[in-house]
Structure 1
């Protein structure tokens, strides 16, 4: 059976900059491309973003990768869907919905950055037009029950491959559960932001290098879930590990972990539970074979078409915790320190420019000094 590696785009929306978390697993290469939709509508005052891409297929056209020399190549990675029309629609309201604009290839951001109310009976669904195809998500409302997080971190040694003494940090939450019995479903997402020290080269003005804030995901394949129907502890406590991260030079300065607790629907919980089972598939003979996981989106005119990904409506709370160099109990080499006599081209490129990082910026997020 012809297989390929697909990056299922599981989206997390960040207050400072929206990115895509990537979870990797195998799927069968089909005769036609499949649409991947990834998005979460929350009540937070931050960008609401949807990512669109398409899987590979047996009939996939080559990609022009070197325009100057006319060089074409084939690859199995999902490609962004450009030029789609994406709108957020309200159930039972015929007026045109709120439009998303394409800010980067395959990245669509809601034009009106509204804070959506929680507790109302308003139903929302996503509509996507790609060429002559129209897709919609199932109607959802904002869940009301949500808990709270009290975060902590610890540094420890762990085995990683052939290294029995790798250093890592563990981010943990003592969760206060919602004040009700059952009928709630929780999911956690974690992103990181840290200050990166660029090399300070001596200059006549004694001008330091620009600020560099780098963003990422510390543990993208960890899916932390709670099913309230399995608990009978209204307002009780539950301890959850929400992320683990290897310690490197990013811990030489302030390193934030931003933890979002999402209150989601039962259907969304079931979807993420199936994704977690697939990601954690051990490959034993008793495991089910890799297969596409249907989300909550469908082709209006072709309901048999398989659409990958999920668009969820979630009530959210954000908690943050950060470490500093003084918290790290391990030796960390300062790899970007200036060394007299060393040429610039002998430095790691990450020491010279913040642009080397895939997702970075030269200014602090607005919440950076609030913690």
Structure 2
């Protein structure tokens, strides 16, 4: 599920078929390797993850990609770590590495609200720890809708796109709170049905991704009214393409964070906005809440957060889309096999995909 081709500050965290991840990507300083940590504990009944990677240096060994070796400065997963989630009652949970750099805490581990949690990471004799955080007390709700439009989209005129809109209900609370909206998507992809003697259909294919990965939507509720009244806001936009030929879900998570997490994402947003593009080299790395306990001056990127989440989903079908969408995978007996896109032949051509139906797919 991980996309290690780019530096993911918010790695989806949570996206494994029933959860989501937001990604912000930009190049980093070459020559000095830096540890990248992202993890999130929440109140949701789902597996939790910690993602570890490392920025590359000029003398990094070549990376094997398919049938050949490549040299690049892309982050590499850290596979030699021991990762623990620890709370202030000294309960320790060892995470299992299920994919390179992706460490999982099973859903049957209860995340308590009366204690604080931190991550502890052991790598080659070095020990890293995050600052302890306790789950926030309140979170609001989202009532979701969408609109289809055609117009200028990211500089491209006459482009068909969808906007995911939330009518936000803020928490009813007299205490300060801090919110962020994370959005991921999942859609069914129709593989090409080639005629065969058994009339056997191709396997199901579900693809996961992030519709608007560079959008960071934040709300500081320190001075918000206690009535819980909110407003309407766009939480994601993306181009309409072949992924809308079948059911296409948008999963919206309203995330109640700590002040420290909110400030971290505010700094990331300012860096992205001020640099003009997330692909511009940032003026300086943004430190998170993870430190090398023996070398506090070491720069560690990313953030480990403890949050309260309310999640809602909305989906579209082909009948909802007011635009013509060409079918790229339709079988044509006159079409040679090598003229079909590879994604029409195998679900595994998508980096984040599965043939297993998500357990929530037909809940709505």
> What is the TM-score when the length of structure 1 is the normalising length?
0.90
User: Does the 8 Å contact 2:15/2:21 carry over to 1?
Assistant: no
Residues of 2 paired with 1:43 and 1:18: CA distance? 12
1:80 alignment partner, one of 77, 80, 91: 77
Q: Which residue of 1 aligns with 2:11?
A: 11
Q: Which residue of 2 aligns with 1:226?
A: 219
1:99 alignment partner, one of 94, 100, 104: 94
Which of 72-81 and 156-165 deviates more?
156-165
2:269 counterpart of 1:268: no
Q: Which residue of 2 aligns with 1:29?
A: 30
Q: Which residue of 1 aligns with 2:233?
A: 240
Using the TM superposition, give the Cα deviation of residue 20 of structure 1 relative to its aligned residue in structure 2, in angstroms. Answer: 5.3
Q: Secondary structure of the residue that 2:270 maps to in structure 1? A: helix
CA shift in 2, pair 1:128/1:10, >3 Å: same
> What is the TM-score when the length of structure 2 is the normalising length?
0.92
Using the TM superposition, give the Cα deviation of residue 14 of structure 1 relative to its aligned residue in structure 2, in angstroms. Answer: 3.0
Which of 214-223 and 196-205 deviates more?
196-205
Which of 163-172 and 224-233 deviates more?
224-233
Q: Which residue of 2 aligns with 1:124?
A: 117
2:202 counterpart of 1:209: yes
CA shift in 2, pair 1:211/1:283, >3 Å: closer
**Where does structure 1 differ by over 6 angstroms across 4 or more consecutive aligned residues?**
none
Q: Which residue of 1 aligns with 2:40?
A: 40
- Structure showing greater radius of gyration is 1
Deviations 1:91-141 (A, max 9, x none): 142x5x101011111111114632424xx3201110000011000000111
Using the TM superposition, give the Cα deviation of residue 19 of structure 1 relative to its aligned residue in structure 2, in angstroms. Answer: 7.0
User: Does the 8 Å contact 2:22/2:182 carry over to 1?
Assistant: no
CA shift in 2, pair 1:92/1:114, >3 Å: closer
2:311 counterpart of 1:312: no
Q: Secondary structure of the residue that 2:213 maps to in structure 1? A: coil
2:90 counterpart of 1:109: no
Using the TM superposition, give the Cα deviation of residue 233 of structure 1 relative to its aligned residue in structure 2, in angstroms. Answer: 4.5
Q: Secondary structure of the residue that 2:115 maps to in structure 1? A: coil
Deviations 1:210-232 (A, max 9, x none): 11111111111111111001322
Within a 5 Å distance, the mapping from 1:160-199 to structure 2 comes to 160=153, 163-199=156-192
CA shift in 2, pair 1:73/1:199, >3 Å: closer
Q: Which residue of 1 aligns with 2:50?
A: 50
Residues of 2 paired with 1:160 and 1:211: CA distance? 31
Using the TM superposition, give the Cα deviation of residue 182 of structure 1 relative to its aligned residue in structure 2, in angstroms. Answer: 4.9
Q: Secondary structure of the residue that 2:231 maps to in structure 1? A: strand
User: Does the 8 Å contact 1:137/1:297 carry over to 2?
Assistant: yes
CA shift in 2, pair 1:127/1:9, >3 Å: same
User: Does the 8 Å contact 1:195/1:254 carry over to 2?
Assistant: yes
Q: Which residue of 2 aligns with 1:353?
A: 346
Q: Secondary structure of the residue that 2:222 maps to in structure 1? A: helix
Q: Unpaired runs of 5+ in structure 2?
A: none
CA shift in 2, pair 1:175/1:200, >3 Å: same
Q: Secondary structure of the residue that 2:285 maps to in structure 1? A: coil
User: Does the 8 Å contact 1:9/1:20 carry over to 2?
Assistant: no
CA shift in 2, pair 1:209/1:161, >3 Å: same
Task: Kindly indicate which of the two structures has a greater share of residues assigned to strand.
Answer: 1
Using the TM superposition, give the Cα deviation of residue 18 of structure 1 relative to its aligned residue in structure 2, in angstroms. Answer: 6.0
Q: What's the Cα RMSD here?
A: 2.3
Q: Which residue of 1 aligns with 2:87?
A: 90
Q: Unpaired runs of 5+ in structure 1?
A: none
Matched residue count: 357
Residues of 1 paired with 2:94 and 2:64: CA distance? 32
User: Does the 8 Å contact 1:191/1:259 carry over to 2?
Assistant: yes
User: Does the 8 Å contact 2:88/2:117 carry over to 1?
Assistant: yes
Residues of 1 paired with 2:160 and 2:276: CA distance? 28
CA shift in 2, pair 1:15/1:148, >3 Å: farther
Which of 137-146 and 16-25 deviates more?
16-25
Answer 1 or 2: higher relative contact order, Cα 8 Å, separation at least 6: 2
2:295 counterpart of 1:302: yes
